[in-house]
Chains A and B, each alone.
Chain A
Amino acid sequence: MEALVRSYGKGLTAVFAGLVALWIILMIVVPQVTMIDRAFTYQDRGGETAMLAIEIDRAYTKRFQLEQQVQRAQNAADAEPGASAPSVSAPSATPSIGAPAATTPSAGGLPQPSAGGAANQEIDVEALEAEIATLTAKIEELESQEDLSSGEAGMKATYSLKNFTTMSGIHFQIFVMTLLYAFCVTILSFLICYPVAFVIATTTNRNRLALMMLGLVIPYAINELLRIFSWIMILEKNGILNTFLNFIGIIDIDAGEGIRFVASNGAVFTVMVYAYVLFMVFPIYNTIDTLDKNQIEAARDLGASAWKIHTRVVIPHAKPGIAVGSIMTFMLSAGSIAVPEIVGRGLHPDWFSQLIYRRFFEADSWNQGSAYSLALLIACIVFIFATMAIFKVGIRDIAK
């Protein structure tokens, strides 16, 4: 700290420290803590909230029925030959409390016997409308109650592990499969990348090097979604791959033999490797690039086989790069939402990130969504530490 104050002065140091503190508090630590807090906060949805929801549903149904009655009454009034002018336009003049009532098609189809006469019905309608108004008020009140109880995490909630333990068997299976797939994507990416990184790092021809670097940078910089999209065109039923298979005579598209590659596990896996492979190339290239190439020559001259050169000279040197590449690839594929959403088309078995999305935005169960996110986060942290331990690299080597 003294070194800081000495070089930048008290004022600037305070500014830097303040900004970093803001960054940590507002963007890193407190948001994470909030998520963790929610993950361990269990809200008994079977209890009060559910009762509220049922009550709200009932109120809505009741209101809908009343509105239909109003409509029917008014229609009947319209059907009355002696009905006065104002009531002709009555249906459209009905205060638009609920949208469904205005579009009820059956209303006109059920003419009421006009026994009571127009005046009597007017009263009826008024009474019904008053009832609708009270119901509307009640619904509003109930809904605000519901908002309160689901919005305030701490209200009726208790700390427990239930958000995790209530994870269904299928969800847990998806969790495990996602991690397994991500792990396979990582391994495969490494196997694909290593030779490429090695060739580029050991190229002596400057023009060729520049060209190959461009060849890496361009697909890397192109948006992930577009790279995924380009593969859909290939894998689709009328896509390029099927056309090619048709052309060489393996399948017959016209006979409907086109293979649906999209929305299969294989497609998701392939596209994922394609989308994230480049995150592996760059770190490995960067580390091999710093290796003194004379070491390779020396090993070769001393009679090392190609295998030995790589396992004893190049890979040990490239360890930090391999670690970074593996962490990035694993993290990206385990947390990928774009590939399973777009390639999977909702038909492919779920990816864990999709489950998280649905917990939040479809099931509206933020606490369980938080629990799922936390599970994914912990899995990634475990992977990071395991990789660091295996490759014996520190955090400073990793994020470079």
Chain B
Amino acid sequence: MSVATRTDPMGVETGAQPRADRDWANAILGGYVVVFFAVMFLPLLFMVAAAFNASPTPSVTDWQGFTLRWFRELPNDQRMIQGLWHSLLIAAGVIVISIPFGLSGAFILTRMRSRGSSLLYTVLVSPVLVPGIILGVTTMIFWRDFFGVQAGLFTAMAAQSSFIASYCMLMFMARLQRQDRVLEEAALDLGASPFMVFRRITLPFLMPTILTACVIAFLQSIENYNTTFFAIGGSWTLVTEIGSRMRFGLSPMINAIGVIFVAITIIVAITHTLVTRKRA
């Protein structure tokens, strides 16, 4: 951290801050960041710890011995299992809908240079900027008023897709903006049909992003609460079920689910970090 006063002899004379001051400032800043991360992680650690506590109310202060009971009880909880199944079903639907929509939007927006493109862009990203509950509400009303579809798994899927498709589109646009058009132009000049070019050049170029987008869409869908809560009607997903359990009192089973979520998150995050670092 002691940045080169030796290689910069002019440092002090030009009026730069004295080194001691800067070291102090850096120390305070460093300490602050440590506190920030501690506050971010401590609650999660408590939650994880309480999942292994035999106490029937989740707690870390009242330790009644180590147990795996709450994990063993999970598979017997029919509503949770059913909820997980609903979540997976919705997530699959969301992927199937959002990826083609996102791709189409990205293709049109990156190639369109007319005045309308700004408006189109605003419309297509608007679901990201609108509160989730409003997406849920509008989807629920729309499907009932127009098609008589009652709120349920389908409307939850439609509501989630509306904004997840926007996220996917933004990812595809970022990738397409880095695309070198020369390859496509060359193929076209050499007589390849536009469809051939699309299938052989554009799609393979986008493939890694499509896979990432699938993963992101899947996670977004599974984790979504606000939108789903409003659009799902009488049905439920894993997350809305967790939410309603939390409102009616705490159970260490929620902690157990939390541990599973945390473990999956950490594994995915670390894998992602390692993969991107290797590529860099």
Which residue on chain B has the smallest CB distance to residue A21? B104
A225: interface (CB < 8 Å): yes
Residue-by-residue, is B124-147 near A (CB-CB < 8 Å gives 1, otherwise 0)?
111111111110011111100110
For chain A residues 22-60, which have a beta carbon within 8 Å of chain B? Answer: 22-24, 26-32, 34-35, 38
**Surface stretch bound by A, among B64-72, B73-81, B205-213, B238-246:** B238-246
Chain A residues near B124 (CB, 8 Å)?
A: 20, 23-24, 28
Is the pair B225, A195 in contact by a Cβ cutoff of 8 Å? Answer: no
Residue-by-residue, is A260-276 near B (CB-CB < 8 Å gives 1, otherwise 0)?
00000000000000100
Residue-by-residue, is B221-244 near A (CB-CB < 8 Å gives 1, otherwise 0)?
001011001100000000100110
Q: Which of B127, B162, B246 counts the most A-chain CB atoms under 10 A from its CB? A: B246
A399: interface (CB < 8 Å): yes
CA distance A199 to B31 in the complex (A): 11
CA distance A360 to B230 in the complex (A): 9
A7: interface (CB < 8 Å): yes
CA distance A133 to B120 in the complex (A): 59
Which residue on chain A has the smallest CB distance to residue B3? A297
Is the pair B141, A31 in contact by a Cβ cutoff of 8 Å? Answer: yes
Asked if A15 meets B194 with Cβ closer than 8 Å, knowing A4-B111, A213-B273, the reply is no
**Surface stretch bound by B, among A61-69, A112-120, A163-171, A229-237:** A229-237
Chain A residues near B128 (CB, 8 Å)?
A: 399
Asked if A222 meets B262 with Cβ closer than 8 Å, knowing A199-B33, A341-B247, the reply is yes
Which residue on chain A has the smallest CB distance to residue B242? A225
Contact of B14 among A219, A234, A303, A399 (CB under 8 A): A303
B91: interface (CB < 8 Å): no
Chain A residues near B30 (CB, 8 Å)?
A: 199
Q: How large is the interface on A (under 10, 10 to 19, 20 to 34, 35 or more residues)?
A: 35 or more
Is the pair A3, B139 in contact by a Cβ cutoff of 8 Å? Answer: no
Is the pair B123, A370 in contact by a Cβ cutoff of 8 Å? Answer: no
A345: interface (CB < 8 Å): yes
CA distance A327 to B62 in the complex (A): 41
CA distance A356 to B162 in the complex (A): 20
Is the pair A301, B11 in contact by a Cβ cutoff of 8 Å? Answer: yes
CB of B260, distance to nearest CB on chain A (Å)? 10
B82: interface (CB < 8 Å): no
Residue-by-residue, is B88-122 near A (CB-CB < 8 Å gives 1, otherwise 0)?
00000000000011011101100111100010111
Contact of B47 among A19, A38, A226 (CB under 8 A): A226
Contact of B126 among A28, A153, A229 (CB under 8 A): A28
Chain A residues near B60 (CB, 8 Å)?
A: 233, 240
CB of B47, distance to nearest CB on chain A (Å)? 4
Chain A residues near B105 (CB, 8 Å)?
A: 19-20, 23
CA distance A214 to B276 in the complex (A): 12
Residue-by-residue, is A6-26 near B (CB-CB < 8 Å gives 1, otherwise 0)?
111101100111111011101
CB of A387, distance to nearest CB on chain B (Å)? 11
Chain A residues near B230 (CB, 8 Å)?
A: 337, 357, 360
Residue-by-residue, is A339-381 near B (CB-CB < 8 Å gives 1, otherwise 0)?
0011001100000010011001000001001100100110010
A334: interface (CB < 8 Å): yes
CB of A267, distance to nearest CB on chain B (Å)? 13
CB of A300, distance to nearest CB on chain B (Å)? 5
Is the pair B270, A214 in contact by a Cβ cutoff of 8 Å? Answer: yes
Is the pair B118, A400 in contact by a Cβ cutoff of 8 Å? Answer: no
Contact of B129 among A35, A200, A380 (CB under 8 A): A380
Contact of A370 among B10, B130, B137 (CB under 8 A): B137
Is the pair A331, B131 in contact by a Cβ cutoff of 8 Å? Answer: yes
Residue-by-residue, is B38-68 near A (CB-CB < 8 Å gives 1, otherwise 0)?
0111011011001000000111111000000
CB of B112, distance to nearest CB on chain A (Å)? 6
For chain A residues 210-261, which have a beta carbon within 8 Å of chain B? Answer: 210, 212-219, 221-234, 236, 238-240, 243
CB of B57, distance to nearest CB on chain A (Å)? 8
CB of A200, distance to nearest CB on chain B (Å)? 8
Which residue on chain B has the smallest CB distance to residue A207? B277
CA distance A115 to B60 in the complex (A): 71
Q: Which of A236, A337, A356, A384 counts the most B-chain CB atoms under 10 A from its CB? A: A337
Is the pair A240, B61 in contact by a Cβ cutoff of 8 Å? Answer: yes
CB of B15, distance to nearest CB on chain A (Å)? 4
Is the pair B133, A353 in contact by a Cβ cutoff of 8 Å? Answer: yes
Is the pair A3, B112 in contact by a Cβ cutoff of 8 Å? Answer: yes
CA distance A218 to B261 in the complex (A): 11
CA distance A302 to B11 in the complex (A): 9
Which residue on chain A has the smallest CB distance to residue B246? A342
Q: Which of B50, B104, B146, B250 counts the most A-chain CB atoms under 10 A from its CB? A: B104
Asked if A29 meets B40 with Cβ closer than 8 Å, knowing A19-B104, A224-B223, the reply is no
Is the pair B61, A232 in contact by a Cβ cutoff of 8 Å? Answer: no
Chain A residues near B111 (CB, 8 Å)?
A: 3-4, 7-8
Is the pair A32, B138 in contact by a Cβ cutoff of 8 Å? Answer: yes
Asked if A335 meets B137 with Cβ closer than 8 Å, knowing A20-B124, A23-B101, A243-B61, the reply is no
Asked if A34 meets B141 with Cβ closer than 8 Å, knowing A23-B101, A232-B250, A337-B226, the reply is yes
Is the pair B273, A210 in contact by a Cβ cutoff of 8 Å? Answer: yes
CA distance A152 to B106 in the complex (A): 38
CA distance A215 to B131 in the complex (A): 26
Contact of B125 among A26, A342, A399 (CB under 8 A): A399
Q: Which of A195, A229, A331, A332 counts the most B-chain CB atoms under 10 A from its CB? A: A229
A161: interface (CB < 8 Å): no
Is the pair A227, B123 in contact by a Cβ cutoff of 8 Å? Answer: no
Can you identify 5 A-B contacts, CB atoms within 8 angstroms? A18-B104, A24-B123, A196-B32, A225-B243, A306-B25
Seed contacts A199-B30, A338-B243; 12 additional CB < 8 Å A-B pairs: A4-B112, A7-B194, A8-B202, A12-B198, A35-B141, A38-B141, A195-B29, A226-B47, A303-B14, A345-B247, A373-B134, A399-B129
Q: Closest 3 A-B residue pairs measured CB to CB? A: A335-B131, A9-B194, A303-B15
